[in-house]
Amino acid sequence: DESENESTTQEVYFRSSFDLPTMTIVTPFIGARVQLEGLNPNGEFTSLASCSTIQQPESDESAAFDVASCETTTDVVNYDFMRVRLIGVDGTDPHYYQWKDNKSARASVNLNDANIGAYFELNGSNTYYVTELSTYQTGLFDYRWNQVEAGDKT
């Protein structure tokens, strides 16, 4: 350099992303919006990320009638307890094939009235299977949750 000091060249790499947990949601509902939410210190769920389910292929590459999925990654700092909800969005047609391998079994579903989702403690990257049976879990949790005083929810 100008001051006649000897310098050595060093290569430095900056990481532009971090290993954030990835939530993969598998469901029979095609075209559903998956909403990932975290429980904040006030006892309310905060929207963190979303994705839309896409019909997945079978092993022979034909479309699976009962499997759709999407994955979402988000910075979940300060969130230990999470929920995912399947919701409908205006202009979309969430549907499923009623667990049949037949195109004529297609049925549209109003996910906003269905309360389909799951609650879980965050534990790294995981896959969550969310079917119509999850309405029992979410319904029971919501019922019990709504019985708790607002300040006691965290």
The domain spanning residue 88 has which CATH number? 2.60.40.1120
Residue 40's closest CA among 86, 76, 71? 76
Task: Report d(CA 127, CA 123) in Å as an integer.
Answer: 11
Q: Is residue 7 part of a domain?
A: no
pLDDT for 76-127, tens place per residue?
A: 778 889 999 999 998 899 999 999 988 999 999 999 988 999 999 988 899 9
Which of 91-100, 132-141, 145-154 bottoms out in mean pLDDT, i.e. has the lowest? 145-154
Residue 126 lies in a domain: yes
Q: Would you say residue 110 lies in a domain?
A: yes
User: What confidence score (pLDDT) does residue 152 get?
Assistant: 77
Q: How confident is the model at residue 148 (pLDDT cuts 50, 70, 90)?
A: confident
For residue 132, being part of any structural domain is answered with yes
Determine, yes or no, domain membership for 69.
Answer: yes
| C-alpha to C-alpha distance for 84 and 71, rounded to whole angstroms | 11
For the entire predicted model, the pTM comes to 0.81
User: Could you tell me if residue 101 is inside a domain?
Assistant: yes
Contact 39, 91 (CB under 8 A): no
Q: 151 by DSSP, 3-state: which?
A: helix
8-17, 43-52, 80-89, 91-100: the lowest-pLDDT one:
8-17
Query: Per-residue pLDDT for 28 more than 90?
Result: yes
The residue range of the domain holding 30 is 22-147
Of 118, 119, 93, nearest to 106 by C-alpha is: 93
Higher pLDDT, 151 or 143: 143
Query: 96 lies in a domain?
Result: yes
**60 falls within a domain:** yes
Count: domains in the chain: 1
